[in-house]
Structure 1
Amino acid sequence: MVEHNTVRTTCPYCGVGCGVLATPQPDGHVTIAGDPDHPANFGRLCSKGSALGETLSLDGRLLHPEIADKRVTWDQAFDEVANRFKQTISEHGPSSVAIYGSGQLLTEDYYVANKLMKGFVGSANIDTNSRLCMASSVAGHKRAFGSDTVPGNYEDLEQADLIVLVGSNLSWCHPVLYQRIVAARTARPDMKIVLIDPRRTVSADIAEIHLPIAPDGDSALFVGLLAHLDQQGITDSDYVSAYTSGYEAALLTAEDWDIAGVAEATGLSPLSIARFYDLFARTKKVVTVYSQGVNQSAAGSDKVNAIINCHLATGRIGKPGMGPFSVTGQPNAMGGREVGGLANMLAAHMDFTPDAIDRVARFWGSGSVAQGPGLKAVDLFAAMARGEIKAVWIMATNPVDSMPEADIVRDALKACPFVVVSDMNRHTDTMELAHVRLPAAGWGEKDGTVSNSERRISRQRPFLPLPGEARPDWWIIKEVAKRLGHGAAFSYFSPGQIFAEHVALSGFENSGNRDFDLSGLSGADYETMTPVQWPVRSKPTARMFGDGKFFTLDGRARFLPIQPPPPFAPAPGTFILNTGRVRDHWHTMTRTGKAARLSAHMAEPFVEIHPADASAMGISRANLVRLSNGHGSALVRALVTDRQQRGQLFVPMHWTDQFASNGRVDALVTGKTDPVSGQPALKMAQVHAEPVGVRLYGFVVAAQKPALATDYWAMAPAHNGYRAEIALFEELANWSDFLADTFGTDAVFQSIRDERSGRRAFVLIENGRLLAALYTSPDPVLVSRQWAVDLLSETELTASIVLAGRPGADRPEGGAIVCSCMGVGINTITEAVTRHGCTSVEAVGALTRAGTNCGSCRAEIRGIVDANRLIAAE
C-alpha cells in the first residue's frame, strides 16, 4: 500500500527509466522503493536506484549563486551572464557562444535551452553529453528509417527467442533490463543469449555464446551476417521488395565478407562465427540490443546500420520480440533528442531543412532561428581551445572528466573568457573553472518529464523543498532569456506550461509525416500524467514500423552499404584501452559518490589486465599501474583477470580529481570521432602501461574527511566516515607531521611496527570511538577493508583491536562486499556454500539475501559458489 505522502517519480540514472516511489520521513530521510505499477521496471530497482535516498544530503551542494568565487544575488548573477553573452555576441557574432547540456536535464529544461540558443540567439552551438552516448544510434536510425526512432519496447526483450547483446554489459549498466531478461529466460529456458564484447563481462553469465570480438570488429561481423542470411535464403524477399530500398547495393558490399574474412577482421574463430550466424538465421524472433560498445566508435554509425540491415533483410522489425534496440546511457538522453538538444537537430525531431526552419520560426515567433547545424561536442571544445568560442554555459554535466582528451578540454575552459556552470554540486572538476556558478535543483527537487530508451515519457516529481537558493534549470534559463531581450517568448510559470508548448510543436503541421508527435496529449493533466510511449496521436504506440511505413521521402526503409574498417593494430609496446562503467557508480560520481555502500564494491580506479600481460610486465595483483600516451596519464590499481583479452585493458570512467589523485581515464582517449554522428571513440585508445615503483602502500579509515596529499590516493565515503587507498613513492621522514597534516590533529597516535615485514599501523581512538587509522605496507595492504570500515560504527573499541588489522575469532567478518544492495561480503557467501551447503545462487540468496534485489551481483555469487562447490561436497 502506497503511503499518502509517497511521490511517484522516475530514477535519475540510466535510460531504463525506472519508476520510483519516494516517501519523505519525519526524521528527514527518504525511503526509496521501485514502483510496481511502472511499466519499465514493475518495482525492480538496481543498486544505484535502491541507494537514491542515501545521495540526497546537502553535503557539497551549491546553494547560492557565485561570481568569481563570491556569493551574489540571483539578479547579479543573471545580469552578469546576460551582459557577457550580449557583449560576446555583439563583438563576435552568435557562433562565438555555446551551451553544453546533459541527459540529466529534464525535457522541459532542454526545451527552453534549445529554444533560447537555436531560436533566439540564432546559433545551433548547443550540444550535450548525449553526443558521447548515443549520437551514432541517432545517425543510424535516421539513415535507415528517415527518423530517430527506436522501433520496439522492453516487452520485446521478454518475447524474443534470441537476444544478441552487442557492446552492452547489460548486467551492470542496465541491470533492471537484464533482470527482466533473466526472468523471461527462467520462464522460457529455450530463449538464447549471445554476448558480443571484447571483455567477458558479467553479462556472459547467461549467454550461450560469448564472442570476444576485436575492437571495432562489429561492422565486419554483421556485414558478414547479412551475406550469410542471403546465401542461406533466410532473407524476407517480399518484405525487402515492398518496404525497403538499397538492398542490392548493401549486399554487393557484403558479398565479399565470407566467414574466413570475418574471422580475420574480428579475431573470432570461424566455428564460433558460424554458430552465431546459424542461430540468428534459424531464430525468427530476434532482438539485437546494443549500447556504448557500438556507439562509442569512430565507425559507430556504420555499426548501427550494419545491425539494422540484418533486421530489415529478414523483416524482423516492428513486431513482438523482434528488432534492433538501442539502450541509452542517461535518464533523458531520449528527451534531449526529442527537443533538439543535439547541435545537428531542431526541436521535435526536425532537421535543418528549409521547411523545418520556417515551421519552427513561425511556431516560436522568431526571425532569428539558426539556419544550420552547430558544433558537436568534440568540435565545440576544440573551437574553444582555438579561441573561437568565447562564452559557454555548461548545464548539469562535467566535461572536464567525461570528454575525450579531457586535459585539453580543461585547458580550453581555463582559457575561455567566460564560463558559466549551472549544477547542483559545488565541487566538480568543471565547476572549479566557472566564472559564474548557478545553483540548480537536483533530483527530488525537480519537476518535469524524462523519456526512456523505449520512447516512454515519465514524470519526475519533486518530494523535497528547494534548498538554499537552488532553482530549476528551466527557470534559470528563462531569467537569462528575459535579460537578453526575449522575455515575451519565455514567459513560463511552470514546467507544465513548457511541456504543453513542446506537445503543441510536435503536432504542429504534422499529419503523420514526422515520427515525434505528442498531439494526443494536448490538454492532458500534467500533474497526474502516467507513463506513455510516443508517438501519441489518438493513442500511444507500442511499436513502430510494424506496418512497413517509414519516414524517408519514399516511405521505405533504407539499407546502407557498409564497408567495415580494417582490423586495428596497436603500435608495438602499447595496449588497446577500453573505457566503461562499473556496477554501482554513475558517470562522474557526483551523485553515487555520496553513498557509502555504492563504493563498497569498487572503491578506487582500476585497470583490468590479463594475467599473462601482467606477468610479462612484472605487475602483481593490486599493484599500481601507470597508463600513459601523448594526451595524458592515469594511476590505477591492477585488477588481474582473464575476463580481459591479452593486449587489451579496461578502465572505468567514473573517477575524477574529486575522488582520486590521477584517475581521469578520458584524458587518455583521443578526440577521434565518427564522421557521420560526431560521437567520439571513447571505447578505444592506445596506451603504454607500466608498474609504478611504490615504497609504501596504505589504507586509511577516518571519522572526518582526511586531507590526502600522497603520491597516489583514492577516497570514498564510508558509513560514519571515509576510507582511502594511498601510496608513497618514497619513505616518509616524519610520520608525526604526516599524521597531523592528514587527519588535522596533533593528538598522539598509538602505533605498532613489524620490523621484518615493514608493516605499520597507526590508530587514534577517543572515548571508545575510532577517529582515524592508517595501515601501511611495502606491498598492497592486506587489511580487510570492510572490517576496518565497520569499526567506525563501534563505540567500545580499544587500540589493540584496531592495530591488529584483522578481526578476532569472536568477531565474524563478512569480507569484501559482493552484494551492495544487501551489504553481503564474500566471506559470508563462501560460508553459506562451505558450511551451510548452499549449491546455487538461489540458495545463497535465501540464506543471506545476497543477490535478491537488483541481481547485478548474481554472476559473482555464482562464481563463488562454483569455486567452493567441491569444499561444500566434502
Structure 2
Amino acid sequence: MEITRRQLLKYSAALAAASAIGLELPLPKDLEAAHVEKWIKGVCRYCGAGCGVYVGVDKGKIVAVQGDKDNWNKGFLCVKGYYLPPILYAADRAKYPMLKKGDKFVRISWKEAMDLMTEKFADSIKKHGVHSVAFYGSGQAYTEESYFMNKLFKGGLGTNNIDGNPRLCMASAAVGYVSSFGKDEPMGAYDDIYHSDCFFIIGSNMAECHPVIFRLINERKQKGKDVKIIMVDPRKTLSARIADLHMSFIPGTDLVILHAMAHVIVKEGLYSKDYVNNHVVFKTIKDDKPAKVSFEEYVKFLEEYTPEMAEKISHCPKDDIIKAARWFAQSKATMSFWTMGLNQRTRGVWANNLVHNLHLLTGQICRPGATSFSLTGQPNACGGIRDTGLLSHLLPYGRLVANEKDRKDMEKFWGVPEGRIHPKPGPTAVDIFRAFNKGEIKCLWIACTNPGQSLPNVGPYRKGMESKDTFLVVSEAYHPTRTSELADLVLPAALWVEKDGTYGQSERRYQYLEKAVNPPAEARPDLDVMIEFSHKLFAKLGRADEAKRLFNFKNSEDVWNEIRQCSKGTAYDFMGMTRARLKKAHGIQWPCPTEDHPGTVRRYTSRYGDVLVKKFDPHATDVSFYGAKADGNKAAVWLRPYKGPAEPPDAEYPYILTTGRQIEHWHTGTMTLKVPELKRSAPDAFVEINPRDAQKLGIKSRDKVKITSRRGSIVLEAKVVDVPRDGLVFVPMHYPERLINLLTTDAYDAMSKQPEFKICAVKIEKA
C-alpha cells in the first residue's frame, strides 16, 4: 500500500496538530493482523516515552502491534509503533557470528567467536592492564544487560572504561538535574499534562519525536480553553503549529532568552517569595568552585539580561520574551518539556539549569501540572544507563565513582575486594573512541548501538574503528550497519521481544517486556552472551571461581532481583517491583519500596506522594530536595553567564547546520528504514533551507546542494520550506548512505561531555 507522508503524520499521534494542518484520514485497516493467536504485553522499541503495547503472535511470528489502553498512552501509538513487526523480519538481520577476514566477513560458530573474543580481551588485559579494554553500551539495551556489564567492568575488572550512547543525548539533562536538585531523579510525570495550563516547550519537536506525549498535550489544550503553549525553537516545526506563541531565535542564544524571562519575572515581582525563601539557594562559580550568593546578587546578575539585550543577541522579539515570562509565572501550573535542542550543546547543562531556574523562581514545581520534564530519546536511557550507572562516572542507583563511600558500598554489595572499583571516572563516549583511535584502548565491545553513524565528527572515529591494530566487537541485530561493517567480529543479537527484560522510561516508569518469539537462526539475547563472556574471560585470567560467585545468573530475572536489592534503601528503591508484579502491571514508577506500594508519581514532595521525602529529610513538611543536603535540602538557582556555541557562523561558513529526527524514522534508521511504508514516505535525506536564503543562493527545491563544514562535505537534495529561520539549515540524521555526522563538531559540554550536534558552521552551494 502506498502511503504519503501526509497520511503518516495523521496515522501517528502527531495528529495532535491535525486542526492546524487539516488531516482527516483513518488509520489503514491492514495495519491490523488478519489472525492473532495470542497477545503479549510489552513496550514500544523506540523513543523514551515508553508507550505500552500488545504484541500479536501467530505461528511463532509477530504479526501485529496494538496500543495498551490500560497504560499511560491510553492505547495510542505513533506510526513507528504501529509498524514495529517488520523490523524483526528484515532481510539483513544478523543471524550468525561473522569474522572479518581481509575485506570479507565469514561465518563462524559461537564457540569460535567467544573463544576469539575472550582471548583477545584476556591477552590485552594481561599485557596492557584492565584499562586497555572498554565497553560502549546503549539506552536501547535492557536494564539487566546494562547493569550486568557495569558490574563486570567496574566491579569485576576494576576499570571505568564503560560508557554509552545516552552520553550523546541525555548526559546534559542528567547533570542538569544533579546540579540543580542534587540528584538525577526526574520529579514529574505524564500525569502532570492533565493538570497543567501552560506548556513551555524548548528545543523539542515533540510532534515528530515524542508524538504520543504531544497528542496528550493537544488534548489538554482542546479541553482547557485557557491552556497556553509556548514553543521555543529556531524551526517552525509541526509542533509549533498549535503553539499560542512560537519564539524563534538564532541557535545557541537561548540562554539569553531564559535569563531575560527570569529578568522579567523578578522585575515584575512574579516570582514566589515563599518558595525562594524556603526551598532555593543561589549559586555561581568562583575560583572554579560552586559558591553560594544572595538573592540580591542574583537580581544584580540578571540586570544586564533585559528583553532588549536578549532580542539583540537572539533576534527573538522582546515582546515575545515578556509575554512568555508572564504566562510561565502567572499560570496555575506550568510544565516544561525539552530534549536534544537543549542537551546536545556545549552549554547543555547550563541550558537545563536555566529552565529549572524558571520553575524554582516561580514555584512552578513539585505539584500537579508544575514540573520541569526532560524527554528521553531512547527506550531505556533512563533505566538502563542513568539508573544502573552505566556511564563512566556513575555507579548504580545514584552512586558516584568518585565518592569513596559509594565505591565501598558497591564493593561490599558486589562482594569484591575494597579498592577494586577505580576511583577515577573513565573516558566518556567521544573520548573512548579517541582512545581507541590512539590504540590506548586495544579491545572495544559495542552493543545495541551504531556509533559508526551516530558519533559527531564521525569520519576520524570510523577510521579508528577499522584499524588493524585494535579489536572491535559489535553485537548487532542487523548486518551490515555503518558500525558492524567496521568490526572485526559481529555477534548476532536478539531484538526487542525476541528476548525478555526491563525498560525504565522518562517518568521513572519501569515496564517488563516478555519474550514473545524466538530470534532468527543463531541470534542470541545479549545478556546470555554477556554472562558467557564473563565466565570465559575470567577463566582465561585465572579467576574462574570468582566469576562463578560474581556472575551466577541464569536469566534476566536473576539479574533483576539483584538490581532490586542494589536499589534498596536508595531514593530509587525498586524492592516492590518484583518480576511477577511487573508482568501484571502497566508500568510502575520508582520509588516503589514495598510490594503493596503503588509507585510514586511525583518526587521531592510529601504532599503529592513521595514516601521517601520524610525518610531522607525528617524535617520536611512539604518539599525537600534531599539530594542537596549540603545546601539544606534546597535546590539551586544558577547564575550562568551567556556563552555562545563552540562554532558560530562566520564569513567563510555563514550558515548554521542543525540535525534531528523525522516522524517516520528513529535515530540511525537501522530499524525504521527496513519498514517499506516508512521508507517510501521518507526515502532519503535532504537539506531544509529557508526560502529567503534559497533565493540569495539561487537554490530551488530538488536542486542538489553541497554543504561543507570544517570537517567534511555532503551533497543533498534541497527542500526549500519556511520551517528553519534565516541562516539555519536542517538535515535529518537517519540515513546511513548520507552521513551528516561527517560534518558535525565533536566539541562537547565541559560538565556533561555531551557533544554539540545541534550547532556547527557550514557553507552552502549548488552542487
For normalisation by structure 1, the TM-score amounts to: 0.76
1:193-208 matches, cutoff 5 A = 193-208=229-244
1:495 to 531, 556, 563: 556
The alpha-carbon distance between structure 1 residues 27 and 520, as it changes in their structure 2 partners (threshold 3 A), is closer
Give the direction of change, closer, same or farther, for the CA distance of 1:118–1:29 in structure 2 (3 Å limit). closer
Partner of 1:43: 75
From 404, 415, 419, give the equivalent of 2:472.
Answer: 419
The answer (yes or no) to whether the contact 2:346–2:750 under 8 Å persists in 1 is yes
Q: 2:62 & 2:368 partners in 1: Cα distance?
A: 42
Partner Cα separation in structure 1 for residue 416 and residue 530 of structure 2: 17
Q: Which moved more, 1:550-559 or 1:185-194?
A: 550-559
Q: Please state how far the C-alpha of 1:108 moved relative to its aligned partner.
A: 0.7
Q: Choose which of 5, 19, 32 in structure 1 pairs with 2:52.
A: 19
CA distance in 1, matches of 2:755, 2:588: 32
- Cα distance, 1:601 vs. partner? 2.4
Matches within 5 A, 1:509-520: 510=569, 514-520=570-576
Aligned residue in 2 for 1:521: 577
> Which one of the candidate residues 404, 414, 417 is aligned to 2:456?
404
Larger CA deviation: 68-77 vs 399-408: 68-77
Name the residue aligned to 1:851.
none
Say if 2:529 is the partner of 1:476. Answer: yes
**Structure 1 stretches (4+) deviating beyond 3 angstroms?**
1-4, 26-29, 249-252, 522-530, 566-569
1:454 equivalent in structure 2: 507
Q: Is the 8 A contact 2:260 2:321 kept in 1?
A: no
Residues 523 and 205 of structure 1, relative CA distance in 2, 3 Å threshold:
closer
Partner of 1:137: 173
The corresponding residue for 2:148 is 112
Out of 323, 326, 331, the position equivalent to 2:374 is: 326
**1:283 counterpart = 2:331:** yes
Partners of 2:131 and 2:158 in 1: CA distance: 8
For 1:93, the equivalent position in structure 2 comes to 129
The structural deviation recorded for 1:244 is 2.0
* CA distance, structure 2, for counterparts of residue 428 and residue 192 of structure 1: 43
Partner Cα distance (1:238, 1:183) in 2: 33
Report the alpha carbon displacement of residue 635 of structure 1 after superposing the two structures with TM.
1.6
Q: How many angstroms apart in 1 are the aligned matches of 2:321 and 2:279?
A: 29
Q: Deviations over 1:325-358 (max 9, x none)?
A: 1001011111111101211111122112000000
The yes-or-no answer on 1:563 pairing with 2:641 is yes
Match of 1:545 in 2: 604
SS of the counterpart of 2:591? coil
Distance in 1 separating the partners of 2:98 and 2:345? 38
Q: Does structure 2 conserve the Cα–Cα contact (< 8 Å) formed by 1:606 and 1:651?
A: yes
1:206-285 aligned within 5 A = 206-246=242-282, 248=295, 249-285=297-333
Residue 597 in 1 paired to residue 677 in 2? yes
Which one of the candidate residues 371, 374, 378 is aligned to 2:426?
A: 374
Q: By how many angstroms is 1:204 displaced?
A: 0.9
Aligned 8 A contact 1:133 1:296 in 2: yes
**Equivalent residues of 2:36, 2:57 under 8 A apart:** no
How far the C-alpha of 1:123 sits from its partner, in A, is 1.1
CA shift for structure 1 position 58: 4.4
Alpha carbons of 1:188 and 1:527: their partners in 2 closer, same or farther (altered >3 Å)?
closer
Secondary structure at the counterpart of residue 600 of structure 1: helix
Question: Does the 8 Å contact 1:504/1:522 carry over to 2?
Answer: no
Measured against aligned partners, the alpha-carbon deviations of 1:483-529 in whole angstroms (never above 9, x if no partner) come to 1222321121111111110110011xx2xxx4322123358545445
CA distance in 1, matches of 2:61, 2:433: 41
Q: Find the counterpart in structure 2 of residue 60 from structure 1.
A: 92
Of 582, 587, 590, the residue aligned with 2:667 is: 587
What amino acid is aligned across from residue 476 of structure 2 in structure 1?
D
* Secondary structure of the structure 1 residue equivalent to 2:368: coil
Contact 2:61 2:517 in 1 (8 A): no
Partner residue, 1:306: 354
Distance in structure 1 (CA, Å) of the matches to 2:732 and 2:758: 11
- Contact 1:106/1:449, CA 8 A, preserved across alignment: yes
**1:564 CA drift (Å):** 1.4
Question: 1:594, 1:169 → 2: CA distance?
Answer: 24
Superposed displacement of residue 188, structure 1 = 1.1
Q: Which residue of 2 aligns with 1:672?
A: 747
Paired AA for residue 412 in structure 1: G
- Residue of structure 2 in register with 1:627 after alignment: 707
User: In the alignment, which residue of structure 1 is the partner of 2:398?
Assistant: 349
Question: Which residue is equivalent to 2:289?
Answer: none
1: CA distance between counterparts of 2:521 and 2:327? 58
Q: Deviations over 1:421-449 (max 9, x none)?
A: 00111110100111111111101202011
**Counterpart code for 1:682:** F
Of all paired residues, the percent bearing the same amino acid is 34
CA distance in structure 1 between the partners assigned to 2:416 and 2:490 by the alignment: 29
Separation of aligned partners in 1, 2:410 and 2:497 = 33
Relative to structure 1, the CA distance from residue 176 to residue 523 in structure 2 (aligned partners, 3 Å threshold; closer, same or farther) is: closer
- Cα distance in 1, alignment partners of residues 684 and 304 from structure 2: 46
Counterpart Cα distance in 1 of 2:62 and 2:507: 32
Cα RMSD after superposing both structures: 1.7
CA distance in 2: counterparts of 1:171 and 1:564, whole angstroms: 29
What is the match of residue 394 of structure 1? 446
Note the alpha carbon deviations across 1:758-814, whole angstroms, 9 max, x for none: xxxxxxxxxxxxxxxxxxxxxxxxxxxxxxxxxxxxxxxxxxxxxxxxxxxxxxxxx
For structure 1, the residue ranges without an aligned partner over 5 or more in a row are 693-874
CA-CA distance at 1:472 after TM superposition:
1.0
**DSSP 3-state at the match of 1:631:** coil
1:613-652 equivalences under 5 Å are: 613-652=693-732
TM-superposed deviation, 1:225: 1.7
CA distance in 2, matches of 1:134, 1:88: 31
Q: 1: CA distance between counterparts of 2:576 and 2:108?
A: 44
Instruction: Tell me the number of residue pairs that the alignment of Structure 1 and Structure 2 aligns.
Output: 681
Secondary structure of the 1:620 match is: coil
Q: For 1:612 and 1:558, how far apart are their aligned partners in 2?
A: 43
Q: Is the 8 A contact 1:245 1:558 kept in 2?
A: yes
Q: Return closer, same or farther for 1:30/1:139 CA change in 2, 3 Å cut-off.
A: same
Task: Find 1:383's aligned residue among 430, 435, 460.
Answer: 435
Match of 1:127 among 155, 158, 163: 163
| CA 678–93 in structure 1, closer or farther in 2 if over 3 Å, else same | same
Distance 1:391 1:523 in 2: 35
Structure 1 residues 252 and 376, CA gap change in structure 2 (3 angstroms): farther
Q: Report the 3-state secondary structure (helix = DSSP H, G, I; strand = E; otherwise coil) of the residue aligned with 1:438.
A: strand
Deviation at 1:531, TM superposition (A): 0.8
The 3-state SS of whatever aligns with 1:518 is coil
**Structure 1 residue 650: deviation in Å?**
0.3
Deviation sequence 1:451-472 (CA, Å, 0-9, x none): 1111100112221112211111
Q: Deviation digits for residues 254-275 of structure 1, max 9, x if unmatched?
A: 2321111111222111122122
Q: CA deviation at 1:4?
A: 6.4
Aligned partner letter, 1:420: V
Distance of 2:206 and 2:55 partners within structure 1: 25
Deviates further, 10-19 or 79-88? 79-88
2:331 and 2:509 map into 1 onto residues whose CA distance is 28
Residue pair 2:37, 2:58 contacting (<8 A) in 1 also: no
What runs of 5+ residues in structure 2 fail to find an aligned partner? 1-31, 283-293, 539-546, 606-621
| Residue 193 of structure 2, aligned match among 157, 172, 194 | 157
* CA shift for structure 1 position 112: 0.7
Query: 1:28 deviation in Å?
Result: 4.1
Aligned partner of residue 519 in structure 1, secondary structure:
coil
Conserved? CA contact 1:289–1:327, under 8 Å: yes
